[in-house]
Amino acid sequence: MDMQAEEPRIRTASESSRTSRQVSRRKSLIGIVLALLGLAALGWLAWYLTHQSAGKGGPGAGRGGPPATTVGVAMVERANIPVELEALGTVSAAATATVRPQVSGVLKQVLFEEGQVVKAGQLLATIDPRPFEIALMQATGQRQRDEAQLQNARLVLERYRTLLSQDSIARQDVDTQAALVKQLEGTVMTDRAAEGTARLNLNYSRVTAPIAGRVGLRTVDVGNVVSTGDTNGIAVITQVTPIDVQFAIPQERIPELQARIREGAALQVIALDQSRQNVLATGQFLALDNQVDTQTGTVRAKARFSNEKLSLFPSQFVNVRLLLRTIQDALVVPVSALRHGNNGDYVYVLNPAERTVALRTVKRGQGSVDRIEILSGVSAGEQVITEGADRLKDGARVTLPGDRPGMQDAGKRQGGRTGAAAAANATGTQPAASGERAARKGQGQGRRTEASQQ
């Protein structure tokens, strides 16, 4: 009897152990299933919240659409738009002259101030004139002596010709005297040239300005010996009124520019500072070079400015704006409103009543610094998006900076929260929690049964 009682007891313990392992395995499977269900529910919820209004937004999206984007708008207007060509230019003096002495000597006076504006022919410096005065006196005396000999030879020739007419002298003597007269005439001519050279050298001792302009820094002081071979000379004069600006024009814009030149148009050129905000001077287009630079694909051009206020300096870098023509009464929008896509240029047009935008393909024309011409696609008076367009799609809802927050956004947020809760219930997230509690409860009951059997 004891063996029979012991055998059912052993069988009962084995069955209890097997049951416990089955319960553990069942709980593990339930936990894995619940975890997978929870992850699936979270993934679907995230997809639902982010893609519930995919594609076109706006009115078609209803309360579940994305929040409205705050944007900036501008009006499509009619205005005159200038067709301009912008380039980087270099100011160059209309003329530059290095003042060098024409004769060698000691510099006696410097009669200019550094940076002074001088006129053509104005006296700048003097060289010691005494050597040149003496040379002039010598040349004059030599000329006077030879002229006296010439005069005497001519008188003798007249007497010889009178005697020859009376047949009182040989013709050979007359011819010899005539040759002497011609020789003395040549000598006198040489003396006059030497005298002119001496007088010219004396004048060269007075150094004058060859052109009008601004004098640079002085390169030599009084008391130094100067000569015609000095590289730096006495001073450098640059003509600054008028003054030129050289700049490069892209070769693809040359036909348009040449057409305007053939029409005889006076093309206005504006010189701006580096910030492109301040106008330095206003001038006229002057000339176009005759060949294209093969390295840059540009053609050099030159404009001339009166520079009355001396706002331009030689070798200064400026921004050049050449006005080719003006388009009258054109439809224009801000440059920031025009977008570029795979299908071409487009803009977002605002529907003021519904606060939505429509993507509209446009054809662009000429542009300026801040505005651009629209040839087709929009009408005057419409409003286009200028700020915040990167976050928009066709039909998207927008708000303007002055708009008050609407109740639609609040309803949308509430609807989103309700939808999230419903999605969680639909996926079984809450039942999963109840299943876990039931499993824990069953596990506790199993432990109590095993304890009672033991």
pLDDT at 5 over 60: no
pLDDT at 416 over 50: no
Considering the domain architecture, whether residues 319 and 368 belong to the same structural domain is answered as yes
- State whether residue 124 is helix, strand or coil: strand
Q: What is the CATH number of the domain that holds 159?
A: 1.10.287
Q: How confident is the model at residue 246 (pLDDT cuts 50, 70, 90)?
A: very high
Considering the domain architecture, whether residues 260 and 389 belong to the same structural domain is answered as yes
**8 A C-beta contact, residue 284 and residue 277:** no
pLDDT at 54 over 90: no
Q: Which residue has the higher pLDDT, 87 or 440?
A: 87
Considering the domain architecture, whether residues 296 and 244 belong to the same structural domain is answered as yes
Considering the domain architecture, whether residues 253 and 378 belong to the same structural domain is answered as yes
> Looking at residue 174, what is its pLDDT?
92
In a domain, 31, yes or no: yes
Considering the domain architecture, whether residues 342 and 200 belong to the same structural domain is answered as no
On whether the pTM is more than 0.75, the answer is no
> Looking at residue 215, what is its pLDDT?
93
| Average pLDDT of the chain, as a whole number | 82
Q: How confident is the model at residue 343 (pLDDT cuts 50, 70, 90)?
A: confident
pLDDT at 323 over 50: yes
In a domain, 124, yes or no: no
Burial 233-246 (b: 16+ CB within 10 A, else e): bbbbbbbbbbbbbb
In a domain, 117, yes or no: no
Considering the domain architecture, whether residues 278 and 385 belong to the same structural domain is answered as yes
Q: How confident is the model at residue 68 (pLDDT cuts 50, 70, 90)?
A: confident
Edge-to-edge strand list for the sheet holding 235-238: 96-99, 235-238, 213-215, 117-118
In a domain, 40, yes or no: yes
Q: What are the pLDDT digits (tens) for 160-200?
A: 999 999 988 899 999 999 999 999 999 999 999 999 999 99
Considering the domain architecture, whether residues 187 and 140 belong to the same structural domain is answered as yes
Considering the domain architecture, whether residues 426 and 366 belong to the same structural domain is answered as no
In a domain, 369, yes or no: yes
Q: What is the CATH number of the domain that holds 360?
A: 2.40.30.170
Token digits of residue 109: 């006076």
**8 A C-beta contact, residue 293 and residue 300:** yes
pLDDT at 42 over 50: yes
Considering the domain architecture, whether residues 245 and 196 belong to the same structural domain is answered as no
Considering the domain architecture, whether residues 388 and 273 belong to the same structural domain is answered as yes
In a domain, 323, yes or no: yes
Considering the domain architecture, whether residues 363 and 291 belong to the same structural domain is answered as yes
Considering the domain architecture, whether residues 52 and 73 belong to the same structural domain is answered as no
> Looking at residue 51, what is its pLDDT?
61
In a domain, 231, yes or no: no
In a domain, 430, yes or no: yes
Q: How confident is the model at residue 29 (pLDDT cuts 50, 70, 90)?
A: confident
Domain count of the fold of the chain: 3
Which domain, by its residues, includes 364?
Answer: 69-94+240-396
Q: What are the pLDDT digits (tens) for 387-397?
A: 888 888 888 88
Q: How confident is the model at residue 13 (pLDDT cuts 50, 70, 90)?
A: low
